[in-house]
């Protein structure tokens, strides 16, 4: 079992038109067997935190990293 950091990003355009990732939130998920499980759990928590059913309303991409 591992702990994962799951970060949610929105891709925005800078003033000169170049895309960049803007962090929308980070959720730490402990005691998961895989990164897939961590993403699923964190996605549900992120959506609930924002009062929506789909996390994609507030973010475009997810990055996940194991911590151990």
Q: What is the CATH number of the domain that holds 13?
A: 3.10.20
Q: Are 29 and 38 in contact (CB under 8 A)?
A: yes
Residue with tokens 């499980």: 37
Owning domain of residue 40: 2-67
**Is residue 13 classed exposed, middle or buried when 0-12, 13-18 and 19+ CB atoms within 10 A define those classes?**
exposed
- Report the pLDDT value the prediction gives residue 29, as an integer from 0 to 100: 96
Counted domains in the chain: 1
What is the C-alpha end-to-end distance of the chain, expressed in Å? 10
Q: Taking residues 42-52, what's their average pLDDT? A: 96
| Rg, the chain, Cα only | 13
Asked if the model's pLDDT at residue 50 lies above 90, the reply is yes
Q: Taking residues 23-35, what's their average pLDDT? A: 95
């Amino acid at each position: 079992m591992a702990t994962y950091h799951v970060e949610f990003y929105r891709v925005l355009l800078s003033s000169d038109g170049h895309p960049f990732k803007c962090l929308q939130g980070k959720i730490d998920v402990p005691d998961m067997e895989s990164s897939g499980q961590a993403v699923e759990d964190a996605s549900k928590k992120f959506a609930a935190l924002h009062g929506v059913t789909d996390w994609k309303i507030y973010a475009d991409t997810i990055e996940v990293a194991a911590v151990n």
